Amino acid sequence: MKRKAVPYILLIPLVVAFALFLVYPLYKVVETSFYKASFLNPFYRQFVGFENYKWLFTFRLFDPKLSYFLSAFKRSLLWVAGSVGIKVVLGLLGAVLLNSKYLIGKKIYRTLVIVPWAIPWAMAAMMWAWTLNSEFGILNSILMHLHLIKAPVTFLAKPSSAFITTFIVDAWVGLPFMIIMILSGLQSIPENLYEAATIDGAGDLTKFFKITLPMIKPVLLTVTLLSTVWTFNSFDIIWILTRGGPIRATETLPIAIYNISFLMVRFGGIGKASAMTIAQVIFVSVIAIFYIRTLEKGVEA
Amino acid sequence: MKRSTRKLTKKIIYQILALLLIAFLFLPIYQMLITALRPADLPWKSPASLFPEKITLQNFKSAFDLVPRLPRYLLNSFIYGAGVSIVSLLVAIPAGYAIARFRFRGRKPIMIFVIYANMFAPIMLLVPIYVIMKKFGLVNTYLSVILAGSIFTIPLSTWLVTSYMQTIPKAIEEAALIDGCSEFSVIHRIIIPMISPAIVAVLIYAFITGWSQQFILALTLIKSDELMPITQGLYQFFSRSSVRWNEMMAAILMSTLIPVALFLVVQKYIVRGLVSGSIKE
């Protein structure tokens, strides 16, 4: 056998798998976005051109200013900003903390920090639902014991608090990944940089902004971009906690896509859901380009 | 003197901050634990007591009465996990070997596509995947969720194999090739034993993902109770009007132990694979 052919033969399973379950479905999404189609009658579909894309910007539901799609998209962006913001800030803090020589019991902390990473998202969401329970949940009880609140809070019943609560829960799910990844970046910083800075009389904050932050910038950028995409795609947490409610306050783009494809079948759902999916693919692809560019420069650079 | 007190204050502050972080990360886990251990006939209090007033193991038994199919759901999750990890390995080992060891045309586009594929989520492809599965008559079968689920574990699995293989010197394989071994017997006899840590990492990573994160795929593709994974199975009880929290939390606790234990074993390799994700030569 020719040696040149070997890598291509080895890649056959990968290419077949991607072709069948990634590229072909993606092609189907693009195609369906030009049809009026629904699960109600899967054998009937009608070519409608750009109607579904027009629908994205014209169909309104409750919101007088923005179309259904745009308001879901806007909600997604805010939700992602909230969640990724927490993940990055707490992730950085946590990593610096777990890397510090002042902390006793680092090994135990490092193991403990990872635990939530391994809990299935759906399970985590159910655990949180009970933790957040307004009557009997432990969070309200803790906040009341600390005298931070006087009466129990109904975290998931009001639109604005449900919005904030769900992205905090999502941040909880993604935080271990952030801490561990940033930590591994911190560990690759040579110790002598800090020693030299100490001799020069630099304080802790100066060291953090002049050495730590620039040194871990590549890692930080990579994980932030990756986390942005994953957070944007987040479904399980919101679905289990609020199903997109109350009054659509947590209906992010993935939830809207699911609702339109499987629940609002009468609207000719899957054509419209496909058009929304294309918007999501575009968003994800834009972030992916930045992500791949960062990787090309080399994470260890 | 002044210096040592400053050091001490720092130590205390760091310790407190670390404990606060752990408190946040363990809040729902603690809630699950005390609820699972609390007698189910004890009336709830509002505000809830922060520590268990009484402890019982009864809930772990009665969880099986509340969710009669609990063992079945766990078995199903095991099947999904095992299936996804086998498919991922079958794809990732040859692909990872090809990317790590050969310089061929189209190598970089393949690498970039692998990274790009890692950014896709089931929700984006749910409808066409459902339609494809329906066409092949696979809706409501184990195979549908295993095949669809593998697509989302193959990218990172391939990446883990590639990055691990890049740390191993080529000399042994080259010697074997000179001795007249074929490429495929090199994979079989030399590569696979050498990269066994990466294989274990992929196996467990894909297993956990298959076990845990197939919620939306199962929600769409699985209709019959007999085939539901544990997440979907328990969700059915969760979405009913009155939840029996004690038994529910006991059930969640039992079904989370396996992925958590496995994850702690391999997290080092997964982190290494994720961090060494450079496409630079």
DSSP A37: E
Q: Cα A33 to chain center, whole Å?
A: 25
CA distance B207 to A109: 25
Q: Which two tokens stand for residue B86?
A: 């086998």
A158 pLDDT above the threshold of 70: yes
DSSP A262: I
Q: Using 50, 70 and 90 to split pLDDT, how confident is the model at B266? A: confident
Q: What is the pLDDT of residue A117?
A: 85
Please count the structural domains in chain B: 2
CB pairs A-B closer than 8 Å: 296
Q: Domain residues for B43?
A: 2-56
Q: Which two tokens stand for residue A266?
A: 């009468």
Contacts of B233 (CB under 8 A, 6+ apart): B67, B69, B70, B72, B73, B76, B225
| Pair B43, B119 in one domain | no
Residue A236 lies in a domain: yes
Q: Taking the CA atoms of A31, A32, A33 and A36 in sequence, report the sign of the dihedral they define.
A: positive
How many angstroms away from the CA of A124 is the closest CA of chain B? 8
| Pair B124, B248 in one domain | yes
**A42 phi and psi angles, rounded to 5 deg:** -65, -15
Contacts of B252 (CB under 8 A, 6+ apart): A123, A126, A127, B32, B36, B234
The answer to whether B204 touches B191, Cβ cutoff 8 Å, is no
The answer to whether B220 touches B126, Cβ cutoff 8 Å, is yes
DSSP A56: H
Q: Model-level pTM greater than 0.95? A: no
| Pair B96, B213 in one domain | yes
Residues of A in contact with B183 (CB under 8 A): 1, 3, 6
Q: What is the pLDDT of residue B276?
A: 60
Q: What is the pLDDT of residue A190?
A: 87
CA distance A292 to B113: 10
| Pair B175, B270 in one domain | yes
Summarize pLDDT for A90-140 with one digit per residue, the tens. Answer: 999 999 999 988 888 888 998 899 889 889 899 999 999 999 998 899 999
Most confident among A55-59, A275-279, B4-8 (mean pLDDT): A275-279
Q: Which CATH number belongs to the domain containing residue A107 in this structure?
A: 1.10.3720.10
In 3D space, the residue among A260, A254, A261 whose CA is nearest the CA of residue A238 turns out to be A254
Residue B9 lies in a domain: yes
Residue A12 lies in a domain: no
Kindly identify which residue of chain B lies nearest to residue A17, measuring between CA atoms: B151
Residues of A in contact with B27 (CB under 8 A): 131, 138-139
Mean local confidence (pLDDT), B117-139: 90
Of the two residues A17 and B277, the one the predictor is more confident about is: A17
Q: What is the pLDDT of residue B241?
A: 60
Of B22, B39, B56, the residue at which a domain comes to its end is B56
Q: Which two tokens stand for residue A249?
A: 């306050």
Q: Domain residues for A123?
A: 35-40+48-58+67-297
Looking at the partner chain, which of A28, A123, A230 has a beta carbon nearest the beta carbon of B256? A123
B131 pLDDT above the threshold of 80: yes
Of the two residues B86 and A150, the one the predictor is more confident about is: B86
Kindly identify which residue of chain B lies nearest to residue A124, measuring between CA atoms: B28
* Locus of tokens 């905090």: A168
The answer to whether A47 touches A268, Cβ cutoff 8 Å, is no
